[in-house]
Amino acid sequence: MRIITFDIETKNLFQDVGSNDPIDLDISVICIHDSAKGDGPEAYSSFTETDMSKLWPIIEQADALVTWNGDHFDIPLLNKYYPGDISKIKSIDLMREVQLKLGRRLKLDTVAEATLGIKKTGHGLEAVEWWKAGEIEKIIKYCIDDVKITRQLYDYALENKLLKYRDSGNLKDIKLDTSKWGILEPVSMTFTLPF
């Protein structure tokens, strides 16, 4: 299966656009891990709004999209830029999987620290400030770091059938049913491919 793990950073915040709908925001950077390219540095790529046309053929060949909060945030926002419907591709939203088990949402940082012993290198508010300051490389590094964490959590969940979090200081397991994650689903995405 070709798995694209991705994360998006934005140029603005909800309070800037007066809305809670992700599609009202604007993308500054999208970073991906493409499983077809292995696990080395060459598997990671970044795209800005001006070069998203290079991203579409990669997305269209994906068997699944892996995200943290992608069903609610990243996929609807990316769909705003795409000429078709990205939501037709199988989505494995790790935050949603956790929420279905716990009944509440957890931050990526919370699960990454408990499961992998690592923390995020920043947060989305900083990325917006970096955008305003023209510090695109900082945004890309931060975004790729988030993609790496999400990818590691996906791999860990596949292998162990669980992720972890801390509740009142106690380490707890979140048991996950990953049995359908590897099942191919038919998708016809030909909006930008040269057929």
The predicted model gives 65-94 an average pLDDT of 95
Average of per-residue pLDDT values in the chain = 93
Between 195 and 192, residue with greater pLDDT: 192
Given a cut of 70, is residue 193 above it in pLDDT? no
Residue 195 has pLDDT above 50, yes or no: no
Domains and CATH numbers, the chain: 3-94+124-160 (3.30.420.10)
| 33-79 tens-digit pLDDT | 999 999 999 999 999 989 999 999 999 999 999 999 999 999 999 99
Rounded-to-integer distance, Cα 162 and Cα 12, Å: 34
Cross-sheet strand order for the sheet of 91-93: 44-48, 27-34, 3-10, 64-67, 91-93
pLDDT at 28: 96
Tokens of 35: 């499983």
pLDDT for 188 equals: 57
- Of all residues in the chain, the percent with pLDDT exceeding 70 is 95
